[in-house]
Structure 1
Amino acid sequence: MSYDVAAVRERFPALDAGFAHFDSPGGSQTPRPVIEAIADALAGPLSNRGDGTLGERNAAAHVAAGRQALADLLGADPSGIVFGRSATQLTYDFSRTLAKTWRPGDEIVVSRLDHDSNIRPWIQATETVGAVVRWAEFDPATGELTVDDIRAALSERTRLVAVTAASNLIGTRPDIPAIARVVHDAGALLYVDGVHYAAHVLVDLDALGADFFVCSPYKFLGPHLGALAASPALLETLSPDKLLPSTNAVPERFEMGTLPYELLSGARAAVDFLATLSGRREGGRRELLAASFAALEEHEDTLRTRIESALAGMKGVALHSRAARRTPTLLLTFDGRDTRDAYRFLAERKVHAPSGSFYALEASRRLGLSDTGGLRVGLAPYNDEADVDRLLTGLTDFLDS
Structure 2
Amino acid sequence: MAFDVEKVRAQYPALADGRAWLDGAAGTQVPQPVIDAVTDAYRVGVSNVGGPYESSRRASGIVAEARAAVADLVGAPDPACVVFGPSMTALTYRFAAVLADGWRPGDEVVVTQLDHDANVRPWVQHAQRAGAAVRVAELDPTTGELPAERVTDLIGERTKLVAVTAASNLLGTIPDVRTITARAREVGALSYVDGVQHCPHAHVQLTELGADFYATSAYKWAGPHLAAVVAADPWSLENLHPDKLKPSPDTSPDRFELGTNPFASLAGVVAAVEHLAGLDSDADGSRRDRLAVSRRAVLAHEHALATTLFDGIAALDGVVRYGAPQGPCTPTAFFGLPGREPAEVAAQLAERGLNVSHGHSYAWEAVHALGLGPEGGVRASLSHYTSEADVRRLLEVLADLSS
TM-score (norm 1): 0.98
- 1:41 corresponds in structure 2 to 41
Of 133-142 and 244-253, deviating more is 133-142
Q: Does 1:372 align with 2:375?
A: yes
- 1:57 corresponds in structure 2 to 57
- Amino acid of the structure 2 residue aligned with 1:339: P
Determine if contact 2:283/2:294 at 8 Å carries over to the other structure.
Answer: no
Q: Partner of 2:325: helix, strand, or coil? A: coil
Q: Partner of 1:308: helix, strand, or coil? A: helix
Determine if contact 1:50/1:59 at 8 Å carries over to the other structure.
Answer: no
Matches within 5 A, 1:194-343: 194-230=195-231, 231-320=233-322, 321-343=324-346
In 2, the alpha carbon distance for the partners of 1:138 and 1:397 equals 32
| Structure 2 alignment gaps of length 5 or more | none
- Give 1:185 shift: 1.0
Matches within 5 A, 1:24-173: 24-50=24-50, 52-76=52-76, 77-173=78-174
Determine if contact 1:357/1:371 at 8 Å carries over to the other structure.
Answer: yes
Given candidates 328, 348, 355, the residue that maps to 2:358 is 355
Q: Partner of 1:163: helix, strand, or coil? A: strand
Q: Does 1:397 align with 2:403?
A: no
Of 69-78 and 339-348, deviating more is 339-348
- Cα deviation, 1:70-107, whole Å, max 9, x if unaligned, reads 00001111001000010000000000011112122211
- 1:386 corresponds in structure 2 to 389
In 2, the alpha carbon distance for the partners of 1:292 and 1:370 equals 39
- Give 1:381 shift: 1.1
Determine if contact 1:45/1:54 at 8 Å carries over to the other structure.
Answer: no
Determine if contact 2:283/2:293 at 8 Å carries over to the other structure.
Answer: no
- Cα deviation, 1:32-87, whole Å, max 9, x if unaligned, reads 00010001111132111136201111100100100000000011110010000100
- Cα deviation, 1:218-267, whole Å, max 9, x if unaligned, reads 00000001101002101111110000001110100100000000111101
- Amino acid of the structure 1 residue aligned with 2:182: R
In 2, the alpha carbon distance for the partners of 1:281 and 1:382 equals 18
- Give 1:316 shift: 2.3
- Give 1:311 shift: 1.4
In 2, the alpha carbon distance for the partners of 1:339 and 1:296 equals 30
Determine if contact 2:283/2:289 at 8 Å carries over to the other structure.
Answer: no
Determine if contact 2:333/2:381 at 8 Å carries over to the other structure.
Answer: yes
In 1, the alpha carbon distance for the partners of 2:289 and 2:257 equals 29
In 2, the alpha carbon distance for the partners of 1:369 and 1:322 equals 17
**Structure 2 vs 1, CA of residues 295 and 153 (structure 1 numbering), >3 Å: closer, same or farther?**
same
In 2, the alpha carbon distance for the partners of 1:316 and 1:351 equals 19
In 2, the alpha carbon distance for the partners of 1:114 and 1:284 equals 34
In 2, the alpha carbon distance for the partners of 1:155 and 1:48 equals 46
Q: Partner of 1:294: helix, strand, or coil? A: helix
In 2, the alpha carbon distance for the partners of 1:223 and 1:339 equals 28
- Give 1:302 shift: 0.6
In 1, the alpha carbon distance for the partners of 2:311 and 2:174 equals 21
- Give 1:384 shift: 0.5
- Give 1:26 shift: 0.3
- Amino acid of the structure 1 residue aligned with 2:203: L
- Amino acid of the structure 2 residue aligned with 1:389: R
- Give 1:339 shift: 2.1
- Amino acid of the structure 2 residue aligned with 1:2: A
In 2, the alpha carbon distance for the partners of 1:297 and 1:250 equals 34
- Amino acid of the structure 1 residue aligned with 2:103: W
Q: Partner of 2:252: helix, strand, or coil? A: coil
In 1, the alpha carbon distance for the partners of 2:332 and 2:36 equals 29
Determine if contact 2:26/2:357 at 8 Å carries over to the other structure.
Answer: no
In 1, the alpha carbon distance for the partners of 2:246 and 2:271 equals 33
- Amino acid of the structure 2 residue aligned with 1:316: G
- Amino acid of the structure 2 residue aligned with 1:336: G
Of 213-222 and 273-282, deviating more is 273-282
Q: Does 1:179 align with 2:180?
A: yes
TM-score (norm 2): 0.97
Q: Partner of 1:396: helix, strand, or coil? A: helix
- Give 1:281 shift: 4.1
- Amino acid of the structure 2 residue aligned with 1:85: P
- Amino acid of the structure 2 residue aligned with 1:56: S
- Give 1:335 shift: 2.1
